[in-house]
Amino acid sequence: MNMKIRFPGNKKVAAEYNGFIINTDQPAAAGGDGSAPAPFDLFLASLGTCAGIYVLGFCQQRGLDTAGIELTQTMHFDTAKRMIGKIDIDISIPDTFPEKYRDALVNTASLCAVKKHIQDPPEFAITTSVRQGGIA
């Protein structure tokens, strides 16, 4: 499994993975063009959308209508650590959503693979390699 990261200009960084180009940029206030989400924004979005795909799959498997279901992710900044210290995800459901599935819906969203990787992080190894001939 490989991902190629390239630098298309200014503060833009693009990742090529599985046939997709995932573009990032920095906000104008940070010297970027604000043309795409910042990498950290994509990280945060991956948490919410991962929980969302589990909620969607749960509902689809049971034939439950997803109209009116919405997840709201709230990030709480820890000033001492200068990082996000807590993330809340609220699953808003219509009053017609079956009561018997409400706890299961929370449990399902908690299965998110992105969240699991944060809770049990992978090992990182960052190296350099020298390519002959300059630019690839």
How far CA 12 is from CA of 3, 15, 27, 55, 103, in Å, comes to 16, 10, 10, 32, 41
Q: Terminus-to-terminus CA distance in the chain, angstroms?
A: 20
Which tens digit of pLDDT belongs to each residue from 29-87? 999 999 999 999 999 999 999 999 999 999 999 999 999 999 999 999 999 999 999 99
User: Once rounded to an integer, what is the mean pLDDT over residues 127-136?
Assistant: 83
Band of residue 132 on the pLDDT scale cut at 50, 70, 90: confident
pLDDT of residue 133: 80
Q: Where are the domains of the chain?
A: 1-36, 38-119
According to CATH, the topology of domain 38-119 is GMP Synthetase; Chain A, domain 3 (3.30.300)
Question: Cα dihedral sign for 38, 40, 111, 92?
Answer: negative
The DSSP call for residue 23 is E
How many Å apart are CA 44 and CA 73, to the nearest integer? 9
What pLDDT is attached to residue 63? 97
